[in-house]
Amino acid sequence: MKSSRVGDGTLLAALGALVVVLFVLSLGTGPVRLAPGTVVEALFGQGGEAQRVIVQEIRLPRAILAVAIGGILGLSGAALQGLVRNPLASPSLFGAPQSAAFAAVLTLSLGLADLRSFVLPLAAIGGAFASVFGLVAIAGKNASHLVIILAGLAISSLAGAATALAMNLAPNPFAALEIAFWLLGSIDDRSFRHVVLALPFIVVGAALLVSRRHAFRALTLGEDAARSLGVDVGRLRLAVIAGVAVGVGAAVAVSGTIGFIGLVAPHLVRSLVGYDPGRVMVPSALAGAALLTAADIAVRLIPSTTDVKVGVLTAIIGVPFFLHLIIRDRRTLAGGPS
């Protein structure tokens, strides 16, 4: 089994180093290119005034959000896959980002908050909670791949239609246009106010999920076996729903919808650590952070007259990956065990 080839400590160190390297590259990438050495100097208050402003005030919030949002998406995907024992589960397929976006858009359209208000993440968290809770309730205890996909598609479609309706009824067409661009998913032009807005909720959501990682090992044996081993399955399910809702909801509130990170990240690390969901979670968070940071660097390097949204790039990459998983597991999708 491949999991024996890479120790947890070695993998975490390698992924952590990758995130740090990408973080520094992110701080140096943009219209004004900065060498890694210059970035490090500016980060610690040294070097020229212009370099310090670019790194500390303009690019640092964006880099922090890329790591935090990518991390919570990767962690949420691993937690949901462990909860329903299904490798196709992810926040996007559960409709969590779409439902969080609908709640946020509705709040903005009604004039109850702006893009820098704490009301926005609270509304998005509520939308994400409703979607994840609804899908778990609809799919049942031992849902097949097909049931997961269909239920998630229904919730995502409903949330998307409701979002379109909320935008259509927005009293201000300029606000509707701004919301439309925001929904594409981006962490461009974000400030430390956005970091303060989202990071506490993301940390709380991540803590809820990581604290339950050992219970997922027992759950792989089935719910009855997990209960016999002392796992409170109902409390575990509620903790995962709450953790995903809080983390993903806060992420969507500041970045819009960024899909497929939660699906791709667990699969990238699972081949290295094996299929123990408890071991997959933390590496998935680091892989998600690396993926989103790399994608955010890539959108700044793509030649374009307009800004390419990072949510568009992750979807372009994620959809073929998702189709690959479906084709690979088509026998299971046709009715085999999940």
Residue by residue, what is the 3-state secondary structure of 141-202? CCCCHHHHHHHHHHHHHHHHHHHHHHHHCCCCHHHHHHHHHHHCCCCCCCCHHHHHHHHHHH
Looking at the domain assignment, is residue 288 inside a domain? Answer: yes
Lowest mean pLDDT among 4-18, 152-166, 170-184: 170-184
- The pLDDT of residue 337 is 44
**pLDDT score of 118 more than 90:** no
Average pLDDT over every residue of 61-84: 93
How does pLDDT run across 39-56, given as a tens digit for each residue? 999 999 888 899 999 999
pLDDT band per the 50, 70, 90 thresholds, residue 143 = low
Give every CB contact of residue 162 below 8 A, 6+ residues apart in sequence: 102, 106
Q: How far apart are CA 68 and CA 202, in angstroms?
A: 7
**DSSP H or E segment with residue 132:** helix 119-139
More confident residue, 273 or 284: 284
Average pLDDT over every residue of 152-178: 81
pLDDT band per the 50, 70, 90 thresholds, residue 2 = very low
More confident residue, 229 or 298: 298
Which is nearest to 118 in space by CA: 190, 198, 176? 198
Which is nearest to 58 in space by CA: 39, 82, 80? 39
Looking at the domain assignment, is residue 338 inside a domain? Answer: no
Lowest mean pLDDT among 140-144, 203-207, 293-297: 140-144
Amino acid symbol at 10: T
Domain housing 173: 2-333
User: In 10 A of CB 28, how many CB atoms?
Assistant: 22
**pLDDT score of 210 more than 90:** yes
Looking at the domain assignment, is residue 219 inside a domain? Answer: yes
Domains of the chain: total: 1
**pLDDT score of 4 more than 70:** no
Q: How far apart are CA 92 and CA 84, in angstroms?
A: 15
Report the CATH number that the domain containing residue 119 is assigned in CATH.
Answer: 1.10.3470.10
Looking at the domain assignment, is residue 109 inside a domain? Answer: yes
Q: What is the DSSP string of 231-285?
A: --HHHHHHHHHHHHHHHHHHHHHHH----SHHHHHHHHHHHHH-S-HHHHHHHHH
Residue 221 three-state SS: coil
- The pLDDT of residue 1 is 37
Lowest mean pLDDT among 75-84, 120-129, 168-177, 184-193: 168-177
Q: Model pTM?
A: 0.85
Looking at the domain assignment, is residue 314 inside a domain? Answer: yes
Average pLDDT, the chain: 84
How does pLDDT run across 26-41, given as a tens digit for each residue? 999 988 999 999 999 9
Give every CB contact of residue 201 below 8 A, 6+ residues apart in sequence: 121, 125, 246, 247, 249, 250
